[in-house]
Chain A
Amino acid sequence: MKKQKFKDLLKIGILTFGFFFLINCEKNNIPEEVSEEILPKEITENLPISIKTTSFLNTDIKFRSLTNKYNIDSNKNLQPSTNTQNKITTTNKSSIVVYTDIIKEITQGDYTSYTMLIESLDDDPNTFYNLTMEEENGNTGMFVTQYRTVHNKTAKDVAGKQSSSSNMEISTRRINDLQVPLGPEDFGNEGGGSSGSGSGGGGSSTTYPTDCDGTVITTTVANETRCTGCISGYPTWPSLETSTVYECVPSSAGGHTSGGGANAGGGSSAPPNNSNSSSITTPVNPDGTSAVPDILTSYLSLSPAQTDFLIQQPDLTNTFFEFLQQNNTAEDKTYVKGQIELETLLDKGKIKLQPLRGKINNRDDQKYTHFGTDGVFAFYKMEDGSTVISSPSQLTLNSDGQLVAQFTSEVSNSHYWYIKLEGSNEWANYLLKSSTNLADELRATALLSAEALGKAIGKYVLPVEDIKILLDGTDFEGQKVSRYQAGGFLLLSIIPGSKALKIVGNAADALTVVVKLGSNNLVVDTVKTGLKIVTDNNVVKFLSQTGDEIARIVNGVMTFRYAGFGGNIITNPNKTTTLLGRYADNTENGTRAVLDSKLFKFGENKGGLNLLDESTWDNLTQSQKDLLNYNWLEQAFIRGDDIRLISNPATNKFDINGALTQFGKELNWILNLKQSYGYIYDSISMTYKKL
């Protein structure tokens, strides 16, 4: 059924074109005296008719004035995507529902009209209806046009087959407001009427109603045909077909008055101009060919490729369109244009992502599983499902802020990065640099927030460890950020269903906390660690669930409260502090206290603590374990880490049954390593330090 209906609607579109062609040819058949008498002055003077596709994005004063006057806003809706032209509302006659997707603006001289599709007034798949608002020199009017395809069976052809032809009937009906009850009978052709039946009780026809007992209102129907064979230019409208429709407003209905909005009894109103008046409209048909891509093309100055992409992606296109209907600033336009630009680049039909594993900028937190390129742009599917695009030039999305360009580019300033997070439909600037120095990245973020984000709607994503911080301009006003900077930390909250984080307003709301720690950052998941974070001026304190202080950070230096060998562990802001000790030594202190706090990393951690990861050791042999342990320790020496002992070597090198402990082995290895890498032991801080 639906298929058949769709075919019928397509036929309507095709037949409309054919019909206008025929009508134009027939125009010469209008009797000379009638032609001179009733053809509008404008037509006879052959003023050019201009048709422009627009939408409710139209901010033109004239358009806004008309929509306000006729209360269009309270009756508008988007055209259902099912492409149906059937009546949706259940009551037979109710207020008119206006589809705002496409609006055709027609101008000729001082005359302007706006035509839009409305919800069908009947269940006939062969009809569709338009609403037209018009204005000329301050006078306004409104009418509904019915377009109806009539199938005519003809005689059998020479081959004996029954053939058929179709004609388009057009009728208009003047109305004063959208509440007027209208039905197909109001167009004078209910029950399969034919052309020319439009005199009398409403409706109209393409033949002049010589028997009209009232006023004849003329409407010019202009039809634009899209260029299909143009070599250049996009889009191009090379031809315009016109026809004339006559509507008889009976004198019993009160005659027609000028001045716009004059009541013609049964709901009819006159065209906006005077006796020689003519309205102009153009069919906005529901054949499924949405004009939204064209509207966006014009509105955003899109490229032909981007327009083609929008035509192929109607849902996405409508999303952008609806967004712009609600948000209409220059930043909004840039944002949508940027989204379209990136979506077009990633058009799956053109770019094929091949399985390929690697790391962007050789960063461990930027692993990808698939890669593709078109020779200019590089495309990555990340391990976490995000999609990343690398561009050699700055794209629209970050054209609002030079800072973005500065901080998103690589050292060579030759690449710009964009990301669509898994589960998101939106692209964002990806603040990805070659550097793994998160402090620099957070500083860049703070600058962005203060100077760029305040002006831009675009979202920004910053990688921190294996999670991504989603920076939203609305949360990142300069004043707030300044406060966070003064405290030396950023507060983040996980976006549900995503690995992305966003900046939140206060510590109580933060699920994850990023703390500036020397030249690095400590990312703490407060849920996983069970830690509470409180701030006191420039001091960040980590508390256990019982309220005991576990650690504090002041000016980027962490002091970890430790009751065991050597006392509190104080980090070096410029180095990794590698901890050596037994898990639970003879005083029941040891690395366990640090492991339980989660305030550490396995490996390099400038400004923070480094512990050996033994989580995968179960299936290793003793010698394999020793090799891993040794390599980890040597790496610490190579980096120049501070190496802090947190178990007493005098009592923990050997177990009480004489076995050399793992800590004891490390102490033995250090004897050689400290010589090789130039270390000395500081017996006050219990730390091996590089000379």
Chain B
Amino acid sequence: MNLKETVEETFFSIITEYKLKISNVNDKEVLLIGQNFTVYISCHFAEIFVHIKKEKDNIPIKPLLWAYCLNKVNFKNIPKTIYPPYMKMENIVKYNLFLQCNYIGLFCKELLLGDFSNMQLYIERSETILKEINNFYEKN
């Protein structure tokens, strides 16, 4: 699987709309570079890790977690993702990328426009929400 090609295909609409440049760091990591931010996309164990950063040393923002922290959506209303055992890694990666692309398009438009004003709120709430999520799914 070529991560860069998959990202190019999946994120086509965002790349086009926000005029992002795509940069291949290595076979596990791709960058989408905008004017005021960078989207870091990496893949390991078929898990997709998508982080948005204003600058290199800033706290990385997870798109869906951004939505949770800013009360754009309640995590309990998001259907739990389950992969069938026969699903191949390659398809899991594509599916994950598709989800992440949608999360960015739905919940992170201000970040794509360079507005990181709610960053402090994200920092304050993210840890708590992550614990809630883990506790919730541990029980469910």
Contact = CB atoms under 8 A, between A and B. Distances in A.
Interface of A: 582-584, 586, 588, 591-592, 612, 614, 617-623, 625-626, 629, 650-662
Nearest to A654: B137
B134 A620 contact: no
Given A586-B130, A651-B131, A654-B134, A618 B42 contact: no
B44 A650 contact: no
Name which of A588, A621, A655 has the most chain B CB atoms within 10 A of its CB: A655
A622 B130 contact: no
Contacts of A657: 64, 78, 80-81, 99
Contacts, number: 104
A662 B127 CA distance: 20
Interface string B83-123: 11111111010000001000000000000000000000000
Contact of B126 (A584, A586, A625): A586
A658 B80 contact: yes
A246 B14 CA distance: 106
B83 A659 contact: yes
A656 B75 contact: yes
Nearest to A651: B130
Contacts of B89: 617-622, 625
A659 B45 contact: no
B42 A621 contact: no
Contacts of B133: 654, 656, 658
Name which of B46, B99, B126 has the most chain A CB atoms within 10 A of its CB: B46
Contacts of A614: 44-45
**Which 6 pairs across A and B sit closest by C-beta, in order of nearness?**
A583-B44, A658-B80, A623-B85, A651-B130, A659-B81, A662-B45
B138 A653 contact: yes
B47 interface: yes
B51 A617 contact: no
Interface of B: 1, 42, 44-47, 49, 51, 60, 62, 64-65, 68, 75, 78-90, 92, 99, 126-127, 130-131, 133-134, 137-138
A658 B80 CA distance: 5
A583 B92 CA distance: 16
Given A621-B87, A656-B75, A583 B47 contact: yes
Given A583-B49, A621-B87, A625-B46, A653 B134 contact: yes
Given A619-B89, A625-B46, A662-B45, 18 more contacts: A582-B44, A583-B44, A586-B65, A592-B44, A617-B45, A621-B85, A651-B127, A652-B130, A653-B137, A654-B138, A656-B65, A656-B75, A657-B64, A657-B81, A658-B75, A658-B81, A658-B133, A658-B137
A-side interface mostly: loop
Contacts of B137: 653-654, 658, 660
A623 B47 CA distance: 15
Contacts of A658: 75, 78-81, 133, 137
B16 to A, nearest CB: 25
Nearest to B67: A656
A661 B62 CA distance: 15
Contacts of A654: 133-134, 137-138
Nearest to B88: A621
Given A588-B60, A614-B45, A654-B138, A619 B88 contact: yes
B85 A622 contact: yes
Contacts of A655: 47, 81
Contacts of B88: 618-622
A619 B81 contact: no
20 contacts: A582-B47, A583-B45, A592-B44, A614-B45, A618-B88, A618-B89, A619-B88, A619-B90, A622-B46, A622-B83, A622-B84, A625-B45, A650-B134, A651-B131, A653-B138, A654-B133, A654-B137, A657-B81, A657-B99, A659-B80
A211 B65 CA distance: 122
A654 B62 CA distance: 14
Contacts of A622: 46, 83-89, 92
Contacts of A619: 88-90
A656 B83 contact: no
B33 to A, nearest CB: 18
Contacts of B127: 586, 651
Name which of A591, A625, A652, A658 has the most chain B CB atoms within 10 A of its CB: A658
A11 B84 CA distance: 87
A424 B134 CA distance: 60
Name which of B62, B84, B88 has the most chain A CB atoms within 10 A of its CB: B88
Contact of B47 (A621, A653, A662): A662
A612 B46 CA distance: 13
A658 B132 CA distance: 11
